[in-house]
Amino acid sequence: MRRRVRTLVAALVVAVAATMASATPAQAATVDIPFGPLSIGDYCHSRYSSAWIGFYESGGLRCYTGSAGTTLQYVGSGDPYLACKHLTTDVVMSAFRGVSDALVCRVIR
């Protein structure tokens, strides 16, 4: 009788282990998140206190200041990857220029 119980318990342990081994982990997804000028400006403001808006131009990420009705004045530049790290808590893979000088962050969720 003990032999049968041990065999049954051993079979149960093997079945549970096989079930756990075949369970698939949650799948991560790659997502592109666009950020506009004001969001980029949030990153710019963290670097330059007078900056409030930013664009991802052909020369890179650029930060500007200015008041209503005046021309924007260049304050400094920033790093697109670091801007993505500042703007999202997701794992950042890369940063690239999007439509209308937006910053697009490719992240893993």
Q: What does 61-81 look like in DSSP terms, one character per residue?
A: EEEEE--TTS--EEEEEE-HH
pLDDT band at 3 (very low <50, low <70, confident <90, very high): low
Which band of pLDDT confidence, cut at 50, 70 and 90, is reported for residue 6? low
Task: Mark 57-93 as b/e (b = at least 16 C-beta within 10 Å).
Answer: eeeebbbbbeeeeeebeebebbebbebbbbbbeeebe
Report the C-alpha gap between 11 and 46 in whole angstroms.
Answer: 60
For the stretch 36-88, pLDDT in tens is 999 999 999 999 999 999 999 998 999 999 887 889 999 999 999 999 999 99
DSSP character string of 20-52: HHHPPPPPP-EEEEEE-HHHHHHHHHHH-TT--
108 close to 91: Cβ distance less than 8 angstroms: yes
> For residues 80 and 20, what is the distance between their CA atoms, to the nearest angstrom?
41
13: confidence class by pLDDT, cuts 50, 70, 90: very low
Question: 3-class DSSP state for residue 89?
Answer: coil
> Domain segments of the chain: what residues?
30-108
